[in-house]
Structure 1
């Protein structure tokens, strides 16, 4: 039980840092500035539901994807760690998350792109979901999905009440939160990278013995 609770907390913090709801809320408010409140709620719901489905698919099918393409967990951890570190480093510098940006204000349906992909279910989020579920049992996989679901609900309210939240926090508060989330992401990325390298070393030693 303690391991599951620790896994759940780690997963939630990882997802929270990489999705970073507050800066994403700024993007959402800008993309939906021309919409009425009812339409904003619909856009937010559609974007988050699509993101949830994408992350569920990668969390559940992670092992099958590995076998299909001959990918090892170590390779995912190394690659995912690099991606997550780059995202965190960019946020730490205050330059924003370029892997999660690319908003097209003229897009016909912003709930699909850029909100769902790549703003919410971007490469870092997918790599994080697969990393936490690929080598785990069904309990950890379900918990990973549940934690992402909780974050989606939290993000929904952040989106819906985005304008009020941004006004209360202000630019300085938003910059501080973004940098803190960037630091957490950079550390998570380093940990994933270190674990991946250790896995490769262990596999090499096992092969020699």
Structure 2
């Protein structure tokens, strides 16, 4: 029971740090600022639904993807740890990772913005996918289900932040968003290092002798 609770807490903080709902609210507001409230809600709903579908697919098919491409869990944890650490490091410098920035601002609304860049790569980016596969790469059913449940809660939180984006940004202010980004960056960097350590230990244990 304790291991399950610890797993769910680790998953929650990992997702919260990498999805950064409050900081991404400012990105959402910038992408949908010219839309009416009803249109913003629709864009947020499509973006979060697509995000959940993508992450659910990797959570369920993670082991199959491993076997198909010959990927080992330690290798994924090492690569994912490095990736998550780099994202956290960039956030620590007071800026969003380039993986979390929209590459262009073309298209002020509709499915284009909801799917890209909101769903991919801002919410369901490489770091989120790597974290998901790492947490769900287990034969136990409880881990994938628990991970998806926690991710659904994070999606709901993000949806609420997006819907009330004007109020959230006004409440936190620019300095508040900056502090939040740096704090999430620190947590993310630590999580990345932990994933890297677990991957290295796993790789060492995999070698005979």
Structure 2 length normalisation: TM-score? 0.96
SS of equivalent to 1:110? helix
Distance 2:25 2:103 in 1: 13
Residue 112 (1) aligns with residue 115 (2):
yes
Q: Deviations over 1:111-167 (max 9, x none)?
A: 000000000000000000000001251111100000000000000000010111111
1:61 aligns to what SS in structure 2? helix
* Runs of 4+ more than 4 Å apart: none
How far is 1:103 from its partner? 4.2
**Structure 2 residue runs without a partner (length 5+):** none
Q: Does 1:200 align with 2:203?
A: yes
Q: Which whole-Å CA distance do the structure 2 matches of 1:155 and 1:102 have between them?
A: 17
- Offset at 1:168? 1.3
Alignment of 1:126-205 (within 5 A): 126-204=129-207
Aligned residue number for residue 125 of structure 2: 122
Give 1:2 shift. Answer: 1.8
Distance (whole Å) between structure 2 residues aligned to residue 136 and residue 85 of structure 1: 27
In 1, the alpha carbon distance for the partners of 2:4 and 2:204 equals 27
User: Contact 1:80–1:128 (CA<8 Å) still a contact in 2?
Assistant: yes
With 100-109 and 17-26 compared, the bigger mean Cα shift is at 100-109
Shift in Å at residue 102 of structure 1?
2.3
Name the CA distance, whole Å, in 2 between partners of 1:76 and 1:136: 16
Answer whether contact 1:100 1:119 (CA < 8 A) is retained.
yes
Distance in 2 between the 1:119 and 1:181 partners?
15
TM-score by length of 1: 0.96
In structure 2, C-alpha distance between the alignment counterparts of 1:49 and 1:86, rounded to whole Å:
27
Aligned mates of 1:179, 1:122 — CA distance in 2: 19
**1:9 & 1:137 partners in 2: Cα distance?**
17
Q: What stretches of structure 1 of length at least 5 have no aligned partner? A: none
**RMSD between superposed Cα atoms in Å:** 1.0
Distance in 2 of aligned mates of 1:17 and 1:194 = 19
Deviation at 1:95, TM superposition (A): 2.1
> Which residue in 2 is equivalent to 1:52?
52
Residues matched between the structures, number: 206
